[in-house]
Amino acid sequence: MRWQTAVVTGIVRRSAVVSSFIFRLPELTPFIAGQHVSVRLTAPDGYRAQRSYSIASAPAGSDYLELAIEKLENGEVSPFFHDVVVVGDEIEVSEPIGGHFVWTPEDAGPVLLVGGGSGIVPFISMARQRALVASTAPMVLLFSARTSGDLLFREELMALAEKRDGFELVSTLTRDAAPPEGVLTGRIGAATIANALGRLPAKPRRVYVCGSNPFVENATQHAIDAGVEPTMIATERYGV
């Protein structure tokens, strides 16, 4: 795997536990929306820790790499980013990885994206890419978060939905009894999936599901129960 030394040029707080880290690389390797990279930390004694994170930035129109990293208290890498890393720091970053969980404008649609928590990050890249190339492929993003404060990139996603060019956002909260206007409550279930599918003009050509293991298992089964062919479903799971 090819590695580069990237410089942190910006840090943006997305929620109480998620921040975006903006990297400048000596050479930005072309990537596809949905791919991820690994970051590698090396301690003074030579010990190395490595984790993979989905890319949030879009392939088109940017000369930087954005990773939205959730702080996991028991994690080995994420606490370092949140507690130690500052603008100007150098971090080793791998070349883009992954080929099964990607979307390009040429793939068209309709497409259903189902994300739980920070599992929404690869979908940010897809939504941004779609907007940057002026694609009108039907795309519905179903986003499950705990509270309104955990609705990552909400303003940006709402702005994309307000363009009414075929992109729709459906959000639901699992631990917030007073959600913002237009936001649902409750975990993603059969009815939620059916509602999202009903917003598409035809059966989806592809369904992408990203989140924790339980979230992915649950959402995938509900999609199958709603009539989506299992071969049309791509999944990505995250951990510590």
pLDDT tens digits, 184-214: 999 999 999 999 999 999 999 999 999 999 9
Band (pLDDT 50/70/90 cuts) for residue 109 is confident
Same domain? For 157 and 225 the reply is yes
Give ∠ CA 84-89-91 in degrees, rounded to 5: 95
Residue 99 counted as domain residue: no
Domain of residue 67, residue span: 3-94
**146 to 82, 96, 134, 210: CA distances (angstroms):** 20, 30, 32, 15
Q: Which amino acid is at 231?
A: T
Same domain? For 205 and 139 the reply is yes
Number of independent structural domains in the chain = 2
Same domain? For 12 and 62 the reply is yes
Confidence at residue 239, expressed as pLDDT on a 0 to 100 scale: 60
pLDDT digits (tens, 9 = 90+) for 27-66: 988 999 999 999 999 988 889 999 999 999 999 977 899 9
* Cβ atoms < 10 Å from Cβ of 182: 10
How many residues are given for the chain? 240
pLDDT digits (tens, 9 = 90+) for 144-166: 999 999 999 999 999 999 999 99
CATH number for the domain harbouring residue 213:
3.40.50.80
Round to whole Å and give the CA distance between 82 and 130: 30
Round to whole Å and give the CA distance between 125 and 110: 17
Round to whole Å and give the CA distance between 207 and 197: 10
Q: What is the mean pLDDT of residues 70-81?
A: 92
What are the structure tokens assigned to 41, written together? 């930390």
Domain boundary among 42, 64, 94: 94
Residue 100 counted as domain residue: no
Rounded to the nearest integer, the mean pLDDT of the chain is 94
- Whether residue 236 is predicted with pLDDT greater than 70 in this model: the reply is yes
User: 111 with 103: CB under 8 angstroms?
Assistant: yes
- Whether residue 19 is predicted with pLDDT greater than 70 in this model: the reply is yes
Listed residue (180, 173, 184, 177) closest to 146, CA to CA: 173
Same domain? For 41 and 120 the reply is no
Same domain? For 143 and 196 the reply is yes
